[in-house]
Structure 1
């Protein structure tokens, strides 16, 4: 009996080929009458399927904790000292602008130039709420994935589809592939 060790979208080191790759598909081999797959292979797009013992997961830096676990982003209102009184009546929160802070010292985060805020303040306010709640959405996505993995037979098809979509979103966030150089984008 085997269980999947890696998941779709995960970056792994392929030992026989000595290169890094992203798992494109998890292929369980089922046997009739058995509840768990007999073996699981992984398609990395390198020409053949690999077994778990041929792959190695990326090691996380123990000194760098996961953002989902440690951070709590929030919207902080900063005073807009340069705003003219004539513009203030258009703003949802006159005299201020949103800053999404990502650390305890209220330094790091997302800020918007005043000209951008003046152009469409409602849009910028909406974006700030989206960014501030992104970590909460990532936590929800992770919980959906874990529930579907822990209860594969009890998970409804619609929820399983949401789990797959959540996996793809988190994979895109954590494993953004580096752009490959080709002749068209190399300066001569």
Structure 2
């Protein structure tokens, strides 16, 4: 018996054609008196139906976020008087993304000094990003099967799925150095 491996609207790589496509329809092939489909084909809008072995799922890494924390590091380069206008004089934010209290996000002292309020807000956003990602994933999952969503909600879900896909997709090698040389 066959089970569907891909779902409708999933982005897949179609190997015989050599291109990416969305699964437009899942087509199970049924046989009389059998409870499960014998085979499952996928319509990707490319002129014929494909079997599961001709398709590959989009590779994405599961983002393992753990528990991110906001710590305060001592400002070694400025005295407390020089940074009295900062929200937390004498310190700057450090986002720790590792259980051993190292690794993560830090800001250069000169950049922090330029706009400390902005960087404090960025630090809070980064710390809470894993929670926001979890909420977005839950929202996308809960609305996956819904067909009668209001237009505004459907657009919001579409944007949410795009953001999740961008976060979890493996980045392509950059050719920035090639384009910089050409300029």
TM-score normalised to structure 1 length? 0.70
Deviation at 1:153, TM superposition (A): 4.0
- Structure 1 stretches of 5 or more lacking a match? 31-38
Out of 31, 40, 43, the position equivalent to 1:41 is 43
How many angstroms apart in 1 are the aligned matches of 2:72 and 2:16? Answer: 54
How many angstroms apart in 1 are the aligned matches of 2:175 and 2:168? Answer: 21
Residue 67 (structure 1) aligns with:
63
Matched, 1:14 2:14: yes
Matched, 1:161 2:155: yes
Residue 75 (structure 2) aligns with:
80
Q: Is the 8 Å Cα contact of residues 9 and 171 (structure 1) preserved in structure 2?
A: no
3-state SS, counterpart of residue 99 of structure 1 = strand
How many angstroms apart in 1 are the aligned matches of 2:48 and 2:112? Answer: 51
Deviation at 1:79, TM superposition (A): 1.4
Q: Is the 8 Å Cα contact of residues 100 and 131 (structure 1) preserved in structure 2?
A: yes
3-state SS, counterpart of residue 123 of structure 2 = helix
Residue 56 (structure 2) aligns with:
56
Residue 36 (structure 2) aligns with:
none
**Residues 49 and 127 of structure 1: is their aligned pair in 2 closer, same or farther, counting only changes over 3 Å?**
farther
Structure 1 residues 73-102: Cα deviation after superposition (integer angstroms, max 9, x where no partner)? 121111112222332211001111001111
Higher Cα radius of gyration: 2
Matched, 1:104 2:106: no
Q: Is the 8 Å Cα contact of residues 5 and 52 (structure 1) preserved in structure 2?
A: no
Out of 80, 87, 90, the position equivalent to 1:95 is 90
Q: Is the 8 Å Cα contact of residues 8 and 24 (structure 2) preserved in structure 1?
A: no
- Structure 2 stretches of 5 or more lacking a match? 28-40
TM-score normalised to structure 2 length? 0.71
Q: Report the RMSD for the aligned CA atoms in angstroms.
A: 3.5
